[in-house]
Structure 1
Amino acid sequence: MTLPFPEPTGPAAGRAEVFVRYLDYFREQVVAKVAALPEAELRGSRLPSGWTPLELVKHLRYVELRWIEWGFQGRDVGDPWGDRHGQRWHVVPTETRQELLDALRRQGAHTRTVVLSHDLSTVGAPSPRWDGAEPPPLERVLFHLVQEYARHVGHLDIVVELAGGPLGE
C-alpha cells in the first residue's frame, strides 16, 4: 500500500491528524522500500556505519515503542532497547522481513490510536524514558517521531538506490 504524500494544502481535522498522516506516510515508505529489495540486500550493509535495511525497520518499530508506549504512556514494555545488541542495531537470523514489517505496522496502528485519542498538549506519564526529567507533551514526542522517520527514510532511499532499487525523492 502506497500512501500519497500528506500535502500541506490537504484538509485535516486538526494537528493530530496531520501528525498521523505524516507518520503513516513515512512508515509506508519504509515498508515499500524494504519490500522492493531483493532478499540478498536485507541483511547486508552497503554503508560504512554497517546498518542493514532489516535493522532499520526493527529500529523504527522500537523508536515508536520507546516514544509512545514507554515514554508518553509510561508503560512497562519489557526491553525498550530490544532493537540493539550493544551499541548496534540488531536483527536475529530468524526474524523475517515480513515479521519485522508487520511489527512496524502494528506499532504504527498503536501510535495512531494513541495520538487520535489524546489532545496534543497532554503531558506524558512519568517513566524511566525521561531519565528523571518532566515528561513532554504529546506534540513534542510527535515532532521527534516525524524527524526520526524523515531522516531514516532518506537513509533508506540511498541504500535502496545503491542496491539497484527504485530511486528515492
Structure 2
Amino acid sequence: MPMPFPSPTVPAAGRTEVFLRYLDYFRETVLSKVSALPPGELRRSRLPSGWTPLELLKHLRYVELRWIEWGFQGRPVEEPWGDRREDRWYVAPDETPDALATALRAQGEHTRVVVEGHDLATVGAPGPRWDGAPPATLERVLFHLLQEYARHLGHLDIVAELAGGPTGE
C-alpha cells in the first residue's frame, strides 16, 4: 500500500518532521512506481534524454549520499558520482531492482538519522561537495533534496504512464 501524502493539515512537531515526512513520501512513491512497472520497462528509456527507471532509483540514492554524507556531514565518499558514467546516469547489468531499492531505503534511513540528530540551522562541514563555496545549512540541503525528489517523481509519473504503469499520486 502506498504511503499517504503528508498533508499540510496533519499536525507536525516542527519543520524537521515536515521535511522527513515529505522525503519519506517521495522516496517511497518513487519506489512504489518503479516496482509496479513491467520488468521490461525497468531498463528501457521512453525519453529522448535516455534515462531508465532503474537509473533514476540509483541517481536518487546518490543525490542523498552527495548532499547528506559528502556534503552536510563532510564525510569522505569513495565514489560520490557513482550513479554516472560518461556524463549519463548508469546502472550496471548486474545491479538488480531489489538491490537498488534496498540501497535507496538505506540511504534514506541514514538521512533520517542525520536530520534527527541536528538542528536545521546547523551549517554543514566544509568539504569538496561545496566546490569552494561556504557549506549550506541542513535546512537548505533538505529543501534541495525535496525539490530534487519532487522533480524526478514528476518525470517518473510521465514515464510510468507511457509504460502502462501506475498513474496519479
Work out whether the TM-score is over 0.5: yes
Q: CA RMSD in A?
A: 0.7
1:51 aligns with 2:54: no
Displaced runs of 4+ in structure 1, greater than 2 A?
A: none
Structure 2 contact 37–166 (Cα < 8 Å) conserved: no
Instruction: Please state whether the residue corresponding to 1:27 is helix, strand or coil.
Output: helix
Structure 1's unaligned 5+ residue stretches are: none
1:140 aligns with 2:140: yes
1:107-134 CA-to-partner distances (Å, cap 9, x unmatched) read: 0000011111100000000010001111
Deviation of residue 168 (structure 1)? 2.5
Amino acid corresponding to residue 162 of structure 1 in structure 2? L
Instruction: Please state whether the residue corresponding to 2:48 is helix, strand or coil.
Output: coil
Counterpart-to-counterpart distance in 1, 2:61 and 2:47: 21
Q: What is the 5 A alignment of 1:56-135?
A: 56-135=56-135
Map of 1:11 onto structure 2: 11
With the length of structure 2 as denominator, give the TM-score of the two structures: 0.98
With the length of structure 1 as denominator, give the TM-score of the two structures: 0.98
Instruction: Please state whether the residue corresponding to 1:48 is helix, strand or coil.
Output: coil
Structure 2 contact 61–104 (Cα < 8 Å) conserved: yes
Deviation of residue 74 (structure 1)? 0.2
Instruction: Please state whether the residue corresponding to 2:22 is helix, strand or coil.
Output: helix
1:47-83 CA-to-partner distances (Å, cap 9, x unmatched) read: 0000000000000000000000000000011010000
Structure 1 contact 158–168 (Cα < 8 Å) conserved: no
Counterpart-to-counterpart distance in 2, 1:67 and 1:58: 14
